[in-house]
Structure 1
Amino acid sequence: MEFSVSLEDRIKLDTHLNSNAKLIGITGPSGAGKSSLLRALAGFERNAQVTVNWHLPQANISEPKIGLVFQQPMLFPHLTVKGNLALAQQYASANAASYAQVIKGCEITHLLDKPIQALSGGEGQRVAIARALLNGPNVLLLDESLSALDIGLRHRVLAFITQLTMQLPMKCIWVSHDLQDLARYSDVMLIIEDQGLSYAGAAQDALYYLNNNSSQEHVFGVLQGCVIFPKELDRHSAPISGVPPHLPDDNNDVGVQEGVGVQESVGVQTGDGTASGLLDGYLCVDVLGHTLYAEAARGGDAVVPPANGDAIKLVITANEVSIDTATNTAATTMSIVNALPCTISEIKRDGLMGNASTSALVLLDVTPKESGKQSQILYARVSQLSLTRLNLRKGMRVVARFKMLRV
């Protein structure tokens, strides 16, 4: 996918992205040109010079339909919610999602008979997104269109949109200031600063760029893995160091360490008959041959649970990661049992915990269990005291430990 946009004094960029990317996230400071970019791509800026090749799944789409949803919902006030949706359906393309699927996925069933004036900000945003989806766009542009939603609802709607991009000939370009959301749901990210493009690439690479070129407090990394069906855990996580396999304890602090298996082979059947990777609310995830547990967040009614083999991202903030210099990942003497063997690749001192140089950001290369696989990056923020007491240094082999994550 390629596009070039030039709008005097507002935005100028030229980028080439992976043609397989379905969700493209955009971030940057206020006033950088993000909204101008979306307006230009939607054809709303007459003076903009725009060249674009969307690389849509269906080659016969000569003039793709583009839908743009603003932060402030542009709904027709003289119609009810149902009336707004019906109007979009009148002009819908053949590839539009079904009415039932959209109202479930956007969680607006209870709002259908409400007047627009009675909607809250978050309700209005969900109705506006639903209306755009029912029109069947090939490209959906979201300009901070989920900013009024609470985090749980926002994740469910984003998961639904992600699912639709897999099912329909549709791409989504969305603007957000929430880097964790962007990292979790975007295939690629654009970072826009000073009316131009600062960086474009895969989400984890964009985060690496941000973490190394800004002083943001909430640094985090993304682990890429895949869901593994519980019955396959014996192969992926054979016990080591004589530690017997066991199921996680019934408390919120427990994850799973590399090397811990599961005694029972149980799974969940999804609505289409395929096997889900869920196990009693836990999700089993393989990352570079190491097995982790995550807590499966509740999805909306229209979202299919993750199935065996599905790609998945785990977002981990630097403050959640502890460094253990004892390199036995199978230790069972602590409740923080998600564990990954790592090598320290860099130590950056900062002053984010108080005065200058009172803390450090440690970059960790996760060691693949099998040779030939590329390592992934984790971040840990530690105090200067811990840095000194543990004698942490570049090239040192350690274990990164963190509690169970929610995905």
Structure 2
Amino acid sequence: DEGKVFDDNNVPDSEKDDASRFRDMLRGFVSGSSEKQTSSPVKLYKDDFTQLFDAGDTARKAGYDSREFEDAVIAAGINALVRGRLTIYGGYVSATVSLVVYPGVRTVGTVTDVNSVSDFRALAVSIARQLTPKITNSMPVELVFDIQPEEAAENVVLTIDDVVYKVIPDHLIVQSGVHSVTLSSPGFKQVSTSYAFRGSRRFNVSVELLRDNPGTLSLRLKKPLIGTVYANGGRSGQVDEEYPAAKIEINNQPILGQFISEDGAAVSFYVPLNLVQNGATLMVNAKPFDRSRYIDIRRRWMYGSYSALIISLMGTFYTYGTFYSQYVGYLDGYVDYENAAGWQRATWICAGVSIGCGVFFVYELVRYFIAADKVLPDRAYVSEYDAGTLLPPELNVSVQPETPENPPADESENTNETKNNGVQ
């Protein structure tokens, strides 16, 4: 059953209890027996999470399961009560928490967890996560993680929302819903995602971590332009006619960037993973211009050519229909030859105009498709240029030792050389 999606009406019979089977038998025979789901808001006691319920000394002495305590809970308007016990062992604390529903004093869930005394917040978050499916009456889901490669799986750290797992459980139970998942391992790139874990009882999460392999490559513009290069959400550098290349930091992933010229025009570029190599020199044929305006112009021309084609077809259909009637009249002797031949020439002329309009429409349609395709980022390719001659020089600062006033004779040559240096 792994990977299947079960709803309330499609649970395998082997997983049903006797009460569920009995209800399924009666559902088809008893009218109005279909179950209706109702929802009600969950409210805190006195609408304040800092307020704790106090049943009084008499009810407390009688015990949590006594009638006196139950009456006190019902009188306070409480439908479910969270109660528990803390036990401290040295530097660790164990918490056992139960969710009890009233009236009836029915325990619907019990959770036990252990954490460090110095980190009560993580303990509270873990217990709340396990109790929430019981409170909201939602179906808990099971997460099974498969981390590759094995080297990364040995030291991987999993974070789900605010809970950190230094050792990933074989079967991790969470409530159904949207969760943020983060995986990190030394020497590998951290990955994060958010996913809606709904519709199934079990989810297999397979992750392949990429090695952390930082480096740089040089990206050159085919046509020297003045502007700024951005890559993967960060600024990579300024380019101009003298130095038309920018240095981009890489880390084992494709690059999606943008070049913005000094007048504000922009063009996007894309570097596929197979070209992302440390020290590589790539080139982009960047042509920044207002693509939205260009596409709008091409769309207007395409609509105009289509309108011209439709209008020309009206004349073609009219002349052809008239010519056909004149031709039939000529065969019957009602119309002379010159009149029929005149409509035939008019039909040829209108048909030629329609064919020309059709060719013009197809031409403009192709141009519109090409213009619409220009919103896609330009693909980088390998450049034959030397990146060292294209990158702007870096600022090199060197500090020379102070020269003595009377240097030894054998160091006179070094002194003259030192005076010519200094700070560069």
Which category describes the TM-score, using the shorter chain as reference length? Answer: under 0.3
More helix by share: 2
Largest Rg, 1 or 2: 2
More RCO (CA 8 Å, sep 6+): 1
Q: TM-score, normalised by structure 2?
A: 0.24
Q: TM-score, normalised by structure 1?
A: 0.25
